[in-house]
Structure 1
C-alpha cells in the first residue's frame, strides 16, 4: 500500500474516515514524503533520472529503503521504473492534466448528493480546519503545504460519500492536478486566494444546496489549471451533459 502524506484513520467524530497528518514510523515513508515534495515543486524535474545510490547517500540509508520509497512514488504515478533503464521522474503533460481533471470533476460532482447525506456540523468543522491550515500555509508562502491541506480537504469531503474504491482514484487525480498547477503557474501567484476558493464549496454544502454545491465544485475543479476560464465546454449538439475539453489557452 502506498505511503500517504496524510494517514487514513477511522472513528472520526463525524463518523467518516478522517485524513490525519502522518507521523512517519518507517524511514522509507519519510523519504517518500521528501521526494514527493521535491517532485511536486520541480526540484526533481519531469523525466529526470533518479539514482538509488545517490539518494541513499543523501538520506544516509540503505538502497533497499530507497527502493521502498520509490515503490510508493511509483504507485502514485510520480516515478516510472523501467527495466534495464532505471527510475525516472514521471512527465507532467497538459494532455494528462486535462484528462485527470475531467475524471476528478466527474468523481467529485457526482458524489455531492452522497456527501450531503452525511454533511453536518462535525464534518464542516473538520473541513474548516483543513481550510484554516491552507490559509496559514498560504500566508507563510508554503505552496507545497498548501497543496497537502488542499488535497486533504477534497479527500475528507469525498470520504463522506463512502466510496472507498473510488477514493484512491481521486487521490491520484489530486496529486497530479496539483503537481501540474505548481509546475506551470506563474511565480508569486495568489496563494491566499487559492485557499479562499474553498469557501463557496463549504457554504453551499452547509446550506444543503445540491445544485450550488455542484456548481461551486465544478468551477473550482475546472479552473484549477490556467487553461483559460474553464477546461470544460458545452457541446452545441448534445447540450450541457456532454463534457468537452476546450482548445483555448495553455498553462502559464
Structure 2
C-alpha cells in the first residue's frame, strides 16, 4: 500500500501524542475515535497505525485491536541495553567529528536543561533532554547510525519520561550530561562513550525506580485514572 502524505502526517502526530504522554503504554487506539479527533477518514488513520506498528511503537493484536506498545521489564531492559550501545557509538564519533557549531548547540541545549532543572520542570527537562541527545546523534556524522538511534529513542521516550519523575533523577541526569559534554568538548572519545552509556543504562536503583513507575502507571490505568 502506497503511503499518502496525509497518512505520514498523521503518523507523525500520533507518534508525538504517544511520546508526549497523551497515549500511554498499553492504551488502545480506536481508529474511529482517532478519525474524529484528527478530523479525517479511517483510511489514513489505518495507514498511519500500520507505519507505527512497523516501527514498534504500537502493537496490533488480532481480534483485540491496536495498542500503544507496552514493553515487559525484560524487553525494556534489552532495549535500553541496545540504546546505550547506540548512543555510546554516537558519542564516540561525535567526540572526534563534532564541529564548533554543533558543540555550541549542545551547550545551548544543556543550558536549557539547567533552566528546567532549576525550575523543577521535569516535563520541560524531558523535551530539552531529547534535544541534547538528538544533537549528539547528528554530531556523529553517520546518517544510518543517527536514524537507528533516533528510532529506538522514540520507542523508549515514554519510559524515559517516567524515569525523570523519580525523585532526584533530573538533577542526576543533568550531572551526567555535564560529564558527557566535558568529554565531547575535550574530544575524548572513550570518556564520551563511557559517560553516555552510564547515562542511558537502566541498572540498580534506577531500574527499581523505573519498574515502580511502570507499576504505578498500570495501576492508574486499571483504576481508570
TM-score, length basis structure 2 = 0.72
Q: What RMSD over aligned residues (CA atoms) do the two structures have, in Å?
A: 3.2
Residues 176-187 of structure 1 mapped to structure 2, 5 A cutoff: 176-183=155-162, 186=165
The one of the two structures with greater contact order (alpha-carbon pairs below 8 A, sep at least 6) is 2
- Whole-angstrom CA distance in 2 between matches of 1:83 and 1:105: 33
Q: How many residues are paired up?
A: 207
- Of 203, 206, 211, 1:251 maps to 211
Partner in structure 2 of residue 228 of structure 1: 204
SS of the aligned residue for 1:197 comes to helix
Partner in structure 2 of residue 109 of structure 1: 88
Partner in structure 2 of residue 92 of structure 1: 71
Residues 5-20 of structure 1 mapped to structure 2, 5 A cutoff: none
TM-score, length basis structure 1 = 0.66
Contact 2:24–2:158 at 8 Å: present in 1 too?
no
- Whole-angstrom CA distance in 2 between matches of 1:184 and 1:116: 27
SS of the aligned residue for 1:166 comes to helix
Q: Determine if the alignment matches structure 1 residue 164 to structure 2 residue 140.
A: no
Kindly state the Cα deviation for residue 83 of structure 1 after the two structures are TM-superposed: 5.4
- Whole-angstrom CA distance in 2 between matches of 1:190 and 1:34: 28
Contact 1:42–1:183 at 8 Å: present in 2 too?
no
Alignment deviations for residues 69-105 of structure 1 (CA, whole Å, 9 cap, x no partner): 3244334321123455432211122212211121122
Kindly state the Cα deviation for residue 249 of structure 1 after the two structures are TM-superposed: 7.8
Partner in structure 1 of residue 121 of structure 2: 141
Kindly state the Cα deviation for residue 122 of structure 1 after the two structures are TM-superposed: 1.0
Pick closer, same or farther for the CA change 1:50–1:249 going to 2, 3 Å. closer
Compare the two structures and name the one with the higher strand fraction. 1
Contact 1:184–1:251 at 8 Å: present in 2 too?
no
Contact 2:95–2:183 at 8 Å: present in 1 too?
no
Contact 1:46–1:89 at 8 Å: present in 2 too?
yes
- Whole-angstrom CA distance in 1 between matches of 2:138 and 2:178: 19
SS of the aligned residue for 2:110 comes to helix
Kindly state the Cα deviation for residue 54 of structure 1 after the two structures are TM-superposed: 0.9
- Of 210, 213, 219, 2:198 maps to 219
Compare the two structures and name the one with the higher helix fraction. 2
- Whole-angstrom CA distance in 2 between matches of 1:86 and 1:64: 16
